Chain A
């Protein structure tokens, strides 16, 4: 088993586990307390896990694995899941709630931490690692070389009515 196969397998397991936990979170809403109170906590952790598992499945390469993408992925996952958990944990707002960047603390954590901070981190990481980890000219050449004989004339057919 290569390192990338291992990463891919773990991502797939995390994806399946995440979807099962999200299903349980929804199921908990049909149950009385205290079971129903567990739903948001399960969602807060496993929903980001599901989305990042999906992202890892897309990003992992057979030869190169996740490489330097692992660090930003883990950091942003922690930021998003941590933000949700902080919002669930901190006390509710009142008239004299202190403001953080103009918003009550919990709202600021969600809006700026979960919503704003990752907004440009992942796109910049994507761009910076694109040539090495996502798609090179050699990758495209390899894919083109894999065209099946019956689709070799694809360029000619595309123009037909």
Chain B
């Protein structure tokens, strides 16, 4: 079975109808809390630094939970369990790298990025790339990659949010997309990332609690891991192979793209700039890993439980794989629990959308002007304007529900990974990296991702099982980065300023 790593993250199909008074009431209560936090944050947002990097004043717990919430989209609650239901344990390779990624991110990225903020005015990830290579071209090119990825990724997330709202309140998909957009926009445009961060804490906590509780219900309904295993093995043992219905290369490819690619997700790693005290990073991996672990329990538990329940005849076969979580919640958990999980799905999507709005607006407001050698006079005002523009464009694109939106969403993760991992993650830890290497690798990631995804989408060719455009783009941009840096190694020392060198040697 061939599944693109990033395509698997998309939620573009309608959910079963969830129109019940308790679910609606919990959803409304959730939106009220979000609005209250947004209003509070708006009053504290007085500068561009507040708007884009939360005034560099957040604590450890806030950083960890907000990072977890931004990492997980609604896929963790809907698409993920659906994928486990369809392909078995092979789907787990998407979340398996979490065992390494938080610690890897802490060693490779967190300290360097946070220390960069000690010596330079850091607002964005392209800022860090520009400072590392003293290159406006590298900063501008990475901003372009971020903008393209953000628009596509946001459109898919806004569509997913519309699907959730439509399933709960049934005003129609088009209206639901606008309602969802306006809610996120309201707190994002007024309170910027400050509102986003504190909403992330609320949303992330909700996600973790909901996931943990539902996992317990999943184990109970399926008869524990042993009960589920025996039922599934008796009918379709291949689902419990470590690769599930995927080939070994496809499953391992998930691990590679989502593992190494995690270092290049700007909506997550740019939060390191915001930590008040760099020394608090000490407990970041443990806290983030704990939160992520609990939040991902539902992903595995519900997918396996639903497959076992369907195979044993306890529940009819699902209409769509993505119905796994909604059907499980409506049939095997109390309604209030189901209501909280559905609010969590909205929370997961909204926290991701807000982060994308922030980095997209920052790219337009800050990075592109800097790349052209100028600064806007009022970045706070322009940040708000670009937040509105990005949200509206994404909502319009999301209205074209279906394959177009799914196609645009494909670019997100892969484009971030292939354009940012070499120049940023490797570059901040290797003094031999050069400006030419960085610019070449960003351009390579951009061109290969766009070209291969477009050709594959138009069915000009089909990749062999396990090979994906995202993986080829990531590998290619890394190789180009090493090769070009090696050929231009004589310039390595000149691209490194003394303060950035101090950060890299710390």
Chain A residues packing against B (C-beta within 8 Å)? 12, 15-16, 19-20, 22-23, 25-26, 29-30, 36, 39-40, 43-44, 47, 50-51, 54-55, 57-59, 62, 76, 80, 84, 87-88, 92-95, 97, 99, 101-104, 106-107, 109-111, 114-120, 122-127, 130-131, 134-135, 137, 139-140, 142-148, 151, 154, 157-161
Q: Is A19 within 8 A of B286, CB to CB?
A: no
Q: Is B119 within 8 A of A148, CB to CB?
A: yes
Q: Is A135 within 8 A of B259, CB to CB?
A: no
The residue from B46, B237, B475 contacting A22, defined by CB atoms under 8 A apart: B475
The residue from B121, B248, B479 contacting A158, defined by CB atoms under 8 A apart: B121
The A/B interface has a contact count, at CB < 8 Å, of 250
Chain B residues with CB under 8 Å of A147's CB are: 118-119, 499
Q: A30-B464, A95-B233 are in contact. Are A126 and B100 (CB under 8 A)?
A: no
Q: Is B286 within 8 A of A123, CB to CB?
A: yes
Chain A residues with CB under 8 Å of B454's CB are: none
Q: Is A26 within 8 A of B475, CB to CB?
A: yes
Chain B residues with CB under 8 Å of A80's CB are: 99-100
Q: Is A146 within 8 A of B47, CB to CB?
A: no
Chain B residues packing against A (C-beta within 8 Å)? 46-49, 55-56, 89, 92, 95-100, 102-104, 106-109, 111-112, 115, 118-121, 224-226, 228-230, 233-234, 237-238, 240-243, 247-249, 252-253, 255-256, 259-260, 263, 278-279, 281-283, 285-286, 288-290, 293, 300, 378-381, 425-426, 429-430, 432, 463-467, 471-472, 475-476, 478-479, 482, 497-499, 501-503, 505-506
Q: Is A119 within 8 A of B98, CB to CB?
A: yes
Q: Is B241 within 8 A of A107, CB to CB?
A: yes
A115-B242 Cα distance, complex, nearest whole Å = 12
Q: A26-B472, A103-B225, A161-B378 are in contact. Are A19 and B478 (CB under 8 A)?
A: yes
Closest B-chain residue to A97, C-beta based? B233
A159-B379 Cα distance, complex, nearest whole Å = 11
A42-B47 Cα distance, complex, nearest whole Å = 50
Chain A residues with CB under 8 Å of B426's CB are: 15, 54, 57
The residue from B56, B99, B226, B482 contacting A102, defined by CB atoms under 8 A apart: B226
Apart from A43-B256, A59-B107, A119-B99, list 16 A-B contacts with CB within 8 A. Answer: A29-B465, A30-B464, A92-B238, A93-B240, A94-B237, A99-B229, A110-B92, A115-B95, A115-B96, A120-B290, A127-B283, A127-B285, A135-B115, A135-B506, A139-B506, A158-B49
Q: A19-B478, A54-B104, A57-B108 are in contact. Are A146 and B499 (CB under 8 A)?
A: yes
Q: Kindly provide the distance from the CB of A155 to the nearest chain B CB, expressed in whole angstroms.
A: 9
Q: Kindly provide the distance from the CB of A31 to the nearest chain B CB, expressed in whole angstroms.
A: 9
Chain B residues with CB under 8 Å of A109's CB are: 242
A147-B121 Cα distance, complex, nearest whole Å = 11
Q: Is B241 within 8 A of A92, CB to CB?
A: yes
Chain A residues with CB under 8 Å of B281's CB are: 130, 134-135
Q: Kindly provide the distance from the CB of A88 to the nearest chain B CB, expressed in whole angstroms.
A: 6
Chain B residues with CB under 8 Å of A16's CB are: 482
Q: A97-B237, A126-B285, A131-B282 are in contact. Are A58 and B108 (CB under 8 A)?
A: yes
Chain A residues with CB under 8 Å of B233's CB are: 93-95, 97, 104
Q: Is A123 within 8 A of B379, CB to CB?
A: no
Q: Is B103 within 8 A of A54, CB to CB?
A: no
Q: A12-B430, A93-B233, A147-B499 are in contact. Are A118 and B506 (CB under 8 A)?
A: no
Closest A-chain residue to B481, C-beta based? A19
Chain B residues with CB under 8 Å of A146's CB are: 119, 498-499, 501-503
Chain A residues with CB under 8 Å of B293's CB are: 119
A80-B98 Cα distance, complex, nearest whole Å = 12
A17-B59 Cα distance, complex, nearest whole Å = 39
Q: Is B252 within 8 A of A84, CB to CB?
A: yes
A88-B466 Cα distance, complex, nearest whole Å = 15
Q: Is B115 within 8 A of A143, CB to CB?
A: yes
Q: A23-B475, A115-B92, A151-B121 are in contact. Are A140 and B279 (CB under 8 A)?
A: yes
Chain B residues with CB under 8 Å of A97's CB are: 233, 237
Q: Is B240 within 8 A of A158, CB to CB?
A: no
Chain B residues with CB under 8 Å of A134's CB are: 107, 111, 281-282
Q: Kindly provide the distance from the CB of A124 to the nearest chain B CB, expressed in whole angstroms.
A: 6
Closest A-chain residue to B285, C-beta based? A123
Q: A23-B479, A59-B107, A148-B497 are in contact. Are A143 and B119 (CB under 8 A)?
A: yes
Q: Is A103 within 8 A of B479, CB to CB?
A: no
Q: Is A93 within 8 A of B241, CB to CB?
A: yes
Which of B464, B465, B476 has its CB near the most chain A CB atoms (within 10 A)? B464
Q: Is B111 within 8 A of A54, CB to CB?
A: no
A143-B116 Cα distance, complex, nearest whole Å = 9
Q: Kindly provide the distance from the CB of A49 to the nearest chain B CB, expressed in whole angstroms.
A: 12
List 9 A-B residue pairs with CB atoms under 8 Å apart, sorted by A's residue number.
A36-B464, A55-B100, A55-B103, A76-B100, A104-B229, A107-B242, A139-B506, A143-B118, A148-B499
A62-B95 Cα distance, complex, nearest whole Å = 33
A106-B241 Cα distance, complex, nearest whole Å = 7
